[in-house]
Structure 1
Amino acid sequence: MIVGLTGGIASGKSTAARLFAERGAAVVDADRLAREAVEPGTPALAAIVRRFGAGVLRPDGRLDRAALGRLVFRDAAARRDLEAIVHPEVRRRMQALIERFRAAGAPVIVLEVPLLFETGLDRAVDLTVVVYVDEAEQLRRLMARDGLDREEAEARLRAQLPMEEKRARADVVLVNRDGVEALARQIDALWTYAVRPNRTGQRKGNADAP
């Protein structure tokens, strides 16, 4: 079974992915693959420099993600150009990992993908799971986590589907407002009733997790 795990920025996707891994799932982290895709010497990094200039590089030749973010989160066309460079490479790496996990007999594979719906990857999984917090809490967490001012944080939120739309499109919603233990209980319920090993990939319909 393949589970597509997503949510808004700063909603707690990585925490949820870790909890799934603790229960035996193989996790594919799209953010990690995106970082690997733009390491020095990669075709993707070269393409980024051609499009955005050498100002998006740090002195050591690595991508300056903060500098690039300041460019693309305020410019939808620039963001689309970046996605056209990075997303195909991420998909290639993701498919390779899925095949490796399947060959190893992994019963459940979780794809942790921030832009699951935006990129159409929701159509390639058996179950979509959204980690949900309301937008006010999401904004507060993002500002605190990344040291952003309100304007910068709001620009990053606008670059993704609104949280309420993701919630409406999900098969299962995990509400992450009461801490890790509460989130873990919801994942335990989901694991038991929907994605535990040897269950079929049948969708369960849109509902909040118990």
Structure 2
Amino acid sequence: MKIIGLTGSIGMGKSTTANMFADLGCPVFDADAAVHKLYAKGGKAVPLIRAVFPDAIKNDAVDRAVLGQHMRADPLSLRVLESFIHPWVGEMRSEFLQQARNNKAKAVFFDVPLLFETGGDKFVDATVVVSAPAKVQRERVMARPGMTAELFSQLLARQMPDSEKRKRADYVISTGEGLAFAREQVQTVLSDILGMKIAT
């Protein structure tokens, strides 16, 4: 079973691309979704965050907007939080992998926004970077509810530049020219990884 790391900066179309791989029968582990589960009502992270930032808990779940304000105000708090969150996400990823092996999947994808930044690329068989022109990226991100130019700049500062990600990638999928073209690239990449033609 091939393990593929899928990444891309904010607004590049990574989630849409992940769904395209899923549509072709590849299980996808979404790291962001795993964190959402930890932050949801009953999630492992809720008691921890309640003890440190009680105002970030609303209706027994983590309010990510409030938590994000605390993290940006104190980067050390972010590192401490990640020291708990990352191992929990790792446990969920291991369970996902075991299930994929039991189902005899030929390839699985790890959808990880900070794949290169965290060194996660060392633990996969290949890396796929989703990319788009900077103008397209900015238009997509600025259209999101609550987004500001300042917040966009802060988010970009945490991420490796797109140009560097593309240099490191085994495959690059461009999403700036529409869904149909992106889907063709997804099929080509998967065919190459598996060494077989993908039925569509």
TM-score, normalised on structure 1? 0.86
Q: Which amino acid aligns with 2:103?
A: A
**What residue is the counterpart of 1:153 in the other structure?**
152
SS in 1 for 2:62: coil
**What residue is the counterpart of 1:203 in the other structure?**
none
Check 1:139–1:72 CA distance in 2 against 1; reply closer, same or farther (3 A cut).
farther
Q: What are the ranges of 5 or more consecutive residues in structure 2 without an aligned counterpart?
A: none
Cα drift, residue 69 of structure 1 = 1.6
**Number of aligned pairs?**
196
* CA RMSD between the two structures: 1.8
**What residue is the counterpart of 1:11 in the other structure?**
12
Q: Which amino acid aligns with 1:138?
A: Q
Question: Per-residue CA shift, 1:13-67, capped at 9, x if unaligned?
Answer: 111111101111111111111111223333322222233x111112x12110111
- For 1:5 and 1:95, the matched residues in 2 are separated by 17
Contact 1:139–1:154 (8 Å) recurs in 2: no
**What residue is the counterpart of 1:96 in the other structure?**
95
SS in 2 for 1:14: helix
Cα drift, residue 152 of structure 1 = 1.2
**What residue is the counterpart of 2:67 in the other structure?**
68
Q: Which amino acid aligns with 1:115?
A: L
**What residue is the counterpart of 1:56 in the other structure?**
56
**What residue is the counterpart of 1:25 in the other structure?**
26
- For 2:120 and 2:151, the matched residues in 1 are separated by 27
- For 2:69 and 2:134, the matched residues in 1 are separated by 21
Cα drift, residue 196 of structure 1 = 5.4
Q: Which amino acid aligns with 1:132?
A: S
Identity level (%):
35
Question: Per-residue CA shift, 1:90-146, capped at 9, x if unaligned?
Answer: 111011111111111011111111111122221111110000123343232112123
- For 2:117 and 2:171, the matched residues in 1 are separated by 17
Runs of 4+ aligned residues of structure 1 deviating over 6 Å after TM superposition are: none
Cα drift, residue 71 of structure 1 = 2.5
Contact 2:49–2:57 (8 Å) recurs in 1: no
Q: Which amino acid aligns with 2:180?
A: E
- For 1:139 and 1:75, the matched residues in 2 are separated by 26
Check 1:132–1:46 CA distance in 2 against 1; reply closer, same or farther (3 A cut).
same
- For 1:43 and 1:50, the matched residues in 2 are separated by 13
- For 1:118 and 1:161, the matched residues in 2 are separated by 7
Check 1:187–1:61 CA distance in 2 against 1; reply closer, same or farther (3 A cut).
same
Q: Which amino acid aligns with 1:2?
A: I
Q: Which amino acid aligns with 1:57?
A: I
- For 1:149 and 1:30, the matched residues in 2 are separated by 24
TM-score, normalised on structure 2? 0.90
- For 2:93 and 2:162, the matched residues in 1 are separated by 24
